[in-house]
């Protein structure tokens, strides 16, 4: 083949690869904001992740009594609080939609203007894709497919993307091989192999669950449903509105997570009309702790668990009780093993 024709073919192939790569980045940018949920939206707009999460204070005196609820609720579970927040009147609802559309547009514009924010959102999308596909995450791939010419900002981009993955999805990014710079995303819950939330096919809901568990904890370990939705509404998650990450949030927390035993959802005793409340389910008690949840909530607000002494002391007591339970379980296991060993020795001596 003539040299000139070879050069043309090579140039054409380079253009084809460049076009495919550009299209891939455009697709990632289009879906990156949705993949990152509220946290990635904050990244796109240059906000602190804590700005999209509600504040909480160490004020046990304002805490409702366990097992009680303050706002009536229909049997279908739609709270008056959430209804009042979004359905006061049609004009207000329309204005709310316009504001959300304006904010979404502003986020897209910020992504285009600030390449670093765009890279954070793209990296969040990339990490989520790798997690769902169960594929290894390497620094070389992140540099090649996402960071590119911003390699000198790699550490900053990775730090911010990791923070958003943790707060939006409850996933920690850990370096598992420092030599080859390989990373893995690990759920903040110690998910077992049976009855998991199927997060490989769907966006992880651990972050949403962690928030709900936190609200339950700071409400005296039993939170009225309207308290849950009041907090979630502040995050842009509404019972009556489909969420682009969590789908049907009401179904997720009142059905899916209940069936998986992460949450307990029950009617308040003697309530008429019926009111409902949430408690930690058995799997939540087994796979996380009050201290882990408090650490998660404290990190959202850029502080430390001890900044909330009331909840911190309760979490410390919980840690101590768990440690004592583990020691007792080990002691029982050792005693049973010793008893079996003595029985086997006795049977052997009798046989001989």
pLDDT for the residue 301: 84
pLDDT for the residue 268: 94
Residue with more model confidence, 326 or 105: 326
| Residue at 257 is within a domain | yes
Mean pLDDT of 56-61: 47
**Boundary of a domain, candidates 132, 153, 187:** 187
pLDDT tens-place string over residues 172-227: 999 999 999 999 998 887 654 444 555 544 557 888 999 999 999 999 999 999 99
Mean pLDDT of 282-308: 91
Which CATH number characterizes residue 140's domain? 1.10.10.1200
Count CB-CB contacts under 10 A for residue 25: 16
Residue 166 token pair: 């943790």
pLDDT tens-place string over residues 89-137: 334 344 444 444 454 445 555 555 667 888 998 999 899 889 888 899 9
Mean pLDDT of 324-349: 84
Whether residue 22 has pLDDT greater than 70: no
As a whole number of angstroms, the distance between CA 218 and CA 212 comes to 10
305 Rama sector, left if φ>0, alpha if ψ -120 to 50, beta otherwise: alpha
| Residue at 78 is within a domain | no
Q: Which of 121, 126, 119, 117 is nearest to 33 (CA)?
A: 121
pLDDT for the residue 83: 31
| Residue at 66 is within a domain | no
Residue with more model confidence, 11 or 184: 184
Residue with more model confidence, 177 or 46: 177
Confidence band (pLDDT; 50, 70, 90) for 57? low
Are 280 and 235 contained in the same domain? yes
Whether residue 304 has pLDDT greater than 90: yes
Q: How many domains does the chain have?
A: 2
| Residue at 20 is within a domain | no
54 CB contacts (<8 Å, ≥6 apart)?
231, 234, 235
Confidence band (pLDDT; 50, 70, 90) for 144? very high
Are 159 and 232 contained in the same domain? no
Mean pLDDT of 244-270: 92
pLDDT for the residue 139: 95
Per-chain mean pLDDT for the chain: 74
Confidence band (pLDDT; 50, 70, 90) for 38? very low
Are 213 and 279 contained in the same domain? yes
Phi–psi pair at 335, nearest 5 degrees: -65, -40
| Residue at 71 is within a domain | no
Expressed in angstroms, the distance from the first to the final Cα of the chain is: 89
Burial 213-232 (b: 16+ CB within 10 A, else e): bbbbbbbeebbbbbbbbbbb
Are 173 and 246 contained in the same domain? no
Residue 190 token pair: 């110690």
pLDDT for the residue 29: 38
Residue with more model confidence, 124 or 77: 124
Are 144 and 181 contained in the same domain? yes
**Boundary of a domain, candidates 288, 304, 339:** 288
| Residue at 154 is within a domain | yes
Are 260 and 213 contained in the same domain? yes
As a whole number of angstroms, the distance between CA 122 and CA 43 comes to 10
Confidence band (pLDDT; 50, 70, 90) for 168? confident
As a whole number of angstroms, the distance between CA 294 and CA 206 comes to 15
pLDDT for the residue 275: 95
pLDDT for the residue 61: 36
| Residue at 174 is within a domain | yes
Q: State percent of the chain over pLDDT 70.
A: 63
Q: State percent of the chain over pLDDT 90.
A: 39
Which CATH number characterizes residue 271's domain? 1.10.10.1210
**Boundary of a domain, candidates 160, 187, 214:** 187
Residue with more model confidence, 302 or 220: 220
pLDDT for the residue 105: 46
Are 212 and 266 contained in the same domain? yes
Whether residue 26 has pLDDT greater than 50: no
Are 282 and 220 contained in the same domain? yes
Range of the domain at 177: 116-187
| Residue at 318 is within a domain | no
Are 162 and 133 contained in the same domain? yes
As a whole number of angstroms, the distance between CA 14 and CA 22 comes to 12
Q: For residues 63 and 266, is the Cβ–Cβ distance under 8 A?
A: no
């Amino acid at each position: 083949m003539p040299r000139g024709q070879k050069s043309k073919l090579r140039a054409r192939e380079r253009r084809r690869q460049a076009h495919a790569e550009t299209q891939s980045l455009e697709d990632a940018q289009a879906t990156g904001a949705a993949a990152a949920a509220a946290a990635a939206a904050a990244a796109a707009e240059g906000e602190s992740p804590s700005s999209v999460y509600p504040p909480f204070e160490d004020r046990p005196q304002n805490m409702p009594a366990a097992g009680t609820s303050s706002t009536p609720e229909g049997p279908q579970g739609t709270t008056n609080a959430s209804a009042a927040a979004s359905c006061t009147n049609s004009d207000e609802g329309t204005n709310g939609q316009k504001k959300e559309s304006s904010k979404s547009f502003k986020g897209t514009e910020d992504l285009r203007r600030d390449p670093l924010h765009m890279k954070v959102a793209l990296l969040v999308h990339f990490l989520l894709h790798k997690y769902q596909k169960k594929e290894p995450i390497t620094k070389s791939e992140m540099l090649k497919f996402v960071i590119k010419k911003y390699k000198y900002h790699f550490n900053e981009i990775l730090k911010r993307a990791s923070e958003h993955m943790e707060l939006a999805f409850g996933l920690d990014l850990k370096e598992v091989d420092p030599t080859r710079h390989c990373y893995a995303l690990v759920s903040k819950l110690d998910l077992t192999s049976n009855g998991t939330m199927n997060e490989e096919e769907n966006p992880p809901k651990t972050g949403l669950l962690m928030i709900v568990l936190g609200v339950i904890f700071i409400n005296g370990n039993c939170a009225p449903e309207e308290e849950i939705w009041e907090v979630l509404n502040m995050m842009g998650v509404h019972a009556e509105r489909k969420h682009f990450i969590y789908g049907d949030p009401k179904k997720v927390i009142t059905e899916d997570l209940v069936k998986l035993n992460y949450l307990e959802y029950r009617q308040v005793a003697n309530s008429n009309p019926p009111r409902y409340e949430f408690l930690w389910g058995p799997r939540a008690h087994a796979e996380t702790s009050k201290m882990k949840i408090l650490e998660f909530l404290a990190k959202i607000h850029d502080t430390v668990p001890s900044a909330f002494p009331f909840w911190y002391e309760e979490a410390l007591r919980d840690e101590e009780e768990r440690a004592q339970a583990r020691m007792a379980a080990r002691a029982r296991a050792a005693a049973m093993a010793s008893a079996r060993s003595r029985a086997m020795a006795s049977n052997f001596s009798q046989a001989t």
